[in-house]
């Protein structure tokens, strides 16, 4: 069993920043996310889009914001269970035990639900024999890209994920074929240009407009059948990866006895973003309260407030005072220390 101070569900911007705020107060964090990489909506839906309302960043790509957050929290050595959904919750005397869909058991003294829009589930193609091939060559997400080394891969989709993974896997796979039902891609222009270049150089195949009709094989994918310009095509492949986006689901949190209002967890915003269960907080897009703004900056603020409350709950005997990082510095759990050598502060009149 993994033990931690704050068990965070959701590695979106809110969950990641929670690690930093907790780290400043000396608390360790473990993060569970059903996606294969950190970043939540920023990484999964719009990594190449610029965001204009992050304070002090006039413009920053969503993917870069996540990379910066990962860099910022690195000294606090968070541990991760990625590609795993938090499914079961058990209340114990000194905290909460969460079990993931892959059977990993994690105990946290408090629970911070930063689950955004809920657990993202892949949108699946509507073809008959789909269940037979799941995890047998049919994948909806990529957790370990090394399994594609030297293999034939068909990627289906036209958004950022499909384009990004086609580019990435073309570096290691034997052959990548990208299929899309339209002739134009929805993903970033830069990625679409890279796809065109790889196609022109003969590195990848691109087939448009094409829709997936059938997957064939015995105990593993052998080939896929496509509808292409009113004719049928068969492509031999080891993997088929449909990347049609994700559908958010809130079912898990409803079962845990939390107060839910219109697909969001009700919290006490006049205090600390705590839920109706003592020791469980909900922060970021997942929560609701009067005046809630579903913005990244709201999640950052809520993470800071929540961590101070969690500290007092975990350490009732200790006094918690707010310290500026300009004065206290940042002392990472990895031994690193960042602190201004000489502090010059203009006097306030």
Ligand X SMILES: Cc1cc2nc3c(=O)[nH]c(=O)nc-3n(C[C@H](O)[C@H](O)[C@H](O)COP(=O)(O)OP(=O)(O)OC[C@H]3O[C@@H](n4cnc5c(N)ncnc54)[C@H](O)[C@@H]3O)c2cc1C
Among 8, 22, 25, 35, binds ligand X (CB under 6 A): 35
Among 4, 7, 8, 15, binds ligand X (CB under 6 A): 15
- 130 CB neighbour count, 10 Å cutoff: 16
Cβ closest to ligand X, residue 42 vs residue 110: 42
Instruction: Count Cα neighbours of 23 within 13 Å in the Cβ-side half-sphere.
Output: 25
Options 19-27, 109-117, 213-221, 229-237: segment touching ligand X (CB under 6 A) = 109-117
Determine how β-strand 60-61 pairs with β-strand 50-51.
Answer: antiparallel
Compute the least distance from the CB of residue 33 to ligand X, in Å.
Answer: 4
Instruction: Map residues 214-253 to x or -, x wherever contact with ligand X holds by CB under 6 A.
Output: --------------------------------------x-
Options 4-12, 72-80, 208-216, 335-343: segment touching ligand X (CB under 6 A) = 4-12
Instruction: Count Cα neighbours of 206 within 13 Å in the Cβ-side half-sphere.
Output: 25
27/149 Cα distance (integer angstroms) = 39
3-state helix, strand, coil in the chain (%, to 5): 25, 30, 40
14 lines the binding site for ligand X (CB under 6 A): yes
Cβ closest to ligand X, residue 106 vs residue 179: 106
Compute the least distance from the CB of residue 16 to ligand X, in Å.
Answer: 7
69 lines the binding site for ligand X (CB under 6 A): no
Instruction: Map residues 301-340 to x or -, x wherever contact with ligand X holds by CB under 6 A.
Output: ----------------------------------------
Compute the least distance from the CB of residue 38 to ligand X, in Å.
Answer: 8
140 lines the binding site for ligand X (CB under 6 A): no
Compute the least distance from the CB of residue 101 to ligand X, in Å.
Answer: 8
- Do the beta carbons of residue 327 and residue 343 sit within 8 Å? yes
45 lines the binding site for ligand X (CB under 6 A): yes
Cβ closest to ligand X, residue 65 vs residue 169: 65
Instruction: Count Cα neighbours of 64 within 13 Å in the Cβ-side half-sphere.
Output: 10
Cβ neighbours for 62, distance < 8 A, ≥ 6 positions apart: 39, 41, 42, 43, 46, 47, 48, 49, 50, 51
156 lines the binding site for ligand X (CB under 6 A): no
Q: Which residue is nearest to ligand X (CB)?
A: 116
Q: Say if residue 4 is exposed, middle or buried (CB neighbours under 10 Å; 0-12, 13-18, 19+).
A: buried
Alpha helices in the chain (DSSP H): 13-24, 40-44, 62-73, 130-133, 160-169, 189-200, 251-255, 296-314, 325-328
- Give which of 112, 109, 116, 38 is closest to 73, Cα–Cα: 38
8 lines the binding site for ligand X (CB under 6 A): no
118 lines the binding site for ligand X (CB under 6 A): yes
Tell me which residues touch ligand X (CB under 6 A).
9-15, 32-35, 40-42, 45-46, 51, 53, 85-86, 114-120, 252, 284-285, 294-297, 299
């Amino acid at each position: 069993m993994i033990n931690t101070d704050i068990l965070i569900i959701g590695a979106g911007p809110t969950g990641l920043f929670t690690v930093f705020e907790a780290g400043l107060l000396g608390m360790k964090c473990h993060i569970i996310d059903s996606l294969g990489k950190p970043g939540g909506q920023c990484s999964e839906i719009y990594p190449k889009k610029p965001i204009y309302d992050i304070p002090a960043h006039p413009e920053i790509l969503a993917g870069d914001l996540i990379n910066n957050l990962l860099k910022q929290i690195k000294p606090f050595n968070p541990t991760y269970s990625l590609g795993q959904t938090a499914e079961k919750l058990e209340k114990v005397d000194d905290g909460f035990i969460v079990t993931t869909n892959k059977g990993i058991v994690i105990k946290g003294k408090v629970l911070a639900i930063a689950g955004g829009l809920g657990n993202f589930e892949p949108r699946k193609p509507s073809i008959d024999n789909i269940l037979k091939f799941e995890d047998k060559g049919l994948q909806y997400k990529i957790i370990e890209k090394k399994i594609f080394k030297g293999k034939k891969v068909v990627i289906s989709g036209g958004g950022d994920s499909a384009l990004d993974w086609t580019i990435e896997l073309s570096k290691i796979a034997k052959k990548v074929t990208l299929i899309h039902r339209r002739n134009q891609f929805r993903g970033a222009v830069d990625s679409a240009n890279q796809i065109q270049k790889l196609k022109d150089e003969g590195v990848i195949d691109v087939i448009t407009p094409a829709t997936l009709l059938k997957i064939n094989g015995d105990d593993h994918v052998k080939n896929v059948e496509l509808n292409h310009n009113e004719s049928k095509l068969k492509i031999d492949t080891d993997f088929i990866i449909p990347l049609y986006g994700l559908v958010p689901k809130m079912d898990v949190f409803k079962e845990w006895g939390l107060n839910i209002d219109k697909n969001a967890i009700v919290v006490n915003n006049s205090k600390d973003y705590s839920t109706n269960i003592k020791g469980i907080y909900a922060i970021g897009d997942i929560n609701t309260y009067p005046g809630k703004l579903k913005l990244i900056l709201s999640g950052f603020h809520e993470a800071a407030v929540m961590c101070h409350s969690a500290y007092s709950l975990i350490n009732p005997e200790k006094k918690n005072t707010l310290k500026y990082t300009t004065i206290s510095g940042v002392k990472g759990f990895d031994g690193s220390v960042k602190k201004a050598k000489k502090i010059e502060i203009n006097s306030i009149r």
